[in-house]
Structure 1
Amino acid sequence: MTDAGTIRILDQRTPEERDRPFLPGMGRTWLLPLYDVFTRVAGVRTLHERAVELAGIGPGQAVVDVGCGTGNLSFALLAARPDARVTGLDPDEDALRRAARKAQRRGVSLTLVQGYADRIPAEDASLDHVVSSLALHHVDDAGRVAFAHDALRALRPGGQVTVVDFGGPAPDAGEAHPSAHRHGPAHALRHLPHLVRSRVAQSPAVARNLGDGIVALLAEAGFGDAREVAHVDHRFGRVSFVQATRP
């Protein structure tokens, strides 16, 4: 078990992956300094807390947070279960360094791995939980399928995956709130959540999650009882909480 306050950053990328592209959390690398402010204002913390509640992490269990970014879901996990063995996985080195600084301020133990969702840093059948929040829609089709299969590989029998992402029935993206463009910036700001929600609804990346997209992805990889266990009508779109168990 890792000593309290131990923070490690590892690089599991192969030489061929050094230039592999990825979509940053804010869509642009230069926006990273705004990421934590944006997620705080957007109320993402409540989604993380709900994910932790649904995951039900047990004492000392091993967890990998896929697409951890600056570590917010990992910190929610550690706040609820300080003795959990948590590893955060993300391709963004700058985001991982921010996560490490935050972990140091909190005095928690955290392993951070630079890598991709299709290669989870764990031995076969060694994890109790794989979790992911608002990251799957950043992954392309091949990466999504590989993520689901590798999560199955890494989880022990009875282990669980919990995915939080935009999903479920497609929200109404046809309403454009045209008045937001006619009454100046103050009026537009009041309608910003609706405008972002509309962009989310029309995103090709999010479209892969709609309907039972996440459930089907996990079921086709071989997980048992893949299902939506909860959802939230977030200001930026419908957020689905999907869980599945390795048989």
Structure 2
Amino acid sequence: MRFKALTDKGKKRSANEDNYFINSDIDFFMVADGMGGHAAGEVASQTAVDFAADFNFELSNPLASLSDLTFEINQAIIKKSKQKIDYQGMGTTFAAVIVCNQRLYYVNLGDSRIYLYNKSNKTLKKISEDHSLVADLLRKGKITKEEAFNHPKKNIVTQALGLESELDLDKGQLDISGDEYILICTDGLTDMIREEEIKTVFNKHTNVEKVADELLQQALSSGGLDNITLIVAGFNE
């Protein structure tokens, strides 16, 4: 697959606590958005990267491998958080996919997101479910999608790696065609630009590099209030 990954600390943050990792040999892609004081968020998201880089994926069962990896990262972050007072309470979102034999396998925890864009019918579909206070309100019909985008508490996550030993993973698999593109991103992107705007960028370009570059620039020009990390991947150009 062809891909482009970008990360930026944004216009307001002094440091970048986002991380990403790609293993192009098995078409594995992940992003992690760290949280916690004293740069502990960066430690948490880097822990996710380190474990993914060393993990031995079993491609006969990619979804089980992704789940195993997620639980291992969770335990590692919990262990680290007990070793240093500055690390207490640190955590990270985690969104990861493997593409194998024209199927997409994914796992998600937190409010980073996974999208599929179909070039033929020009549709953008969010396939991950957010674990956040605002997402819960939206699912219960208590707020609208527009209210969710502007909600003052939209950055409060209800699950993340490193916070609790028990996890309720959002995971699944689906077929993916040659005219579909994957977008994996932290909320630094989706808090700044709406899904319709993301779709418009995909409509304009057939090149993953141009899509990624424009998405980042739009997020920055819209305020860049948080760290921004995104990966765009696809079969075709």
TM-score scaled to structure 1, two decimals?
0.29
TM-score (norm 2): 0.29
Which structure is richer in relative contact order (CA contacts within 8 A, separation 6 or more)? Answer: 2
More helix by share: 1
Larger radius of gyration between Structure 1 and Structure 2: 1
